[in-house]
Amino acid sequence: MWRVRRSRVTPPRRDGLISRPVVTPAESSADPYPYVYVESDGTARELHLGEREYLETPYHPADGGRPYVKRGYEARDGWGDLAGFCLRAQLPEGTAVGSAPTDNPSKPMSESELVAYLQRKRVRVERPSGGSREG
């Protein structure tokens, strides 16, 4: 099995912290793109332009907003979900890759969408009393 090794690049600096993108500028021009998205059902698809920009944005390693990239096709996130960005080379042989979605699937959620998402994950969501969000 071939291993993909990422080239070492001098990381850009932002506010004195070392930041690195998942996909370097050199890798971003590869055809096909080096990453795909694996859905919860195990199917794979190409990335929307917004998702590519997300992977090409430098993040500090401790930034909670950085992209979640699977260590392998079978890897699951903290919720036990199979979904996530995955190196194309880590897909099982013969896996079909669907086309990129026309709408950005990673758009920001409204408050009600976030509450519904967390409730589907069986997280108890409580609204603050008195209508205030602070407290």
Local confidence pLDDT in tens for the 135 residues of the chain? 455 555 455 555 555 568 899 999 999 999 999 999 999 999 999 999 999 999 999 998 888 888 999 999 999 998 899 999 999 999 999 999 999 999 988 877 888 888 898 888 888 888 877 655 554
Name the DSSP class of 15: T
Residue 119 domain flag = no
Number of separate domains in the chain: 1
> Residue 27 has what DSSP assignment?
H
CB within 8 Å of 20: residues ≥ 6 apart: 9, 11, 12, 58, 59, 61
> Does any domain span residue 108?
no
The structure's pTM equals 0.71
- Whether 27 is covered by a domain: the verdict is yes
Task: Give the residue numbers spanning the domain of 71.
Answer: 13-103
What are the C-alpha distances in Å from 69 to residues 37, 55, 66, 130? Answer: 9, 9, 9, 40
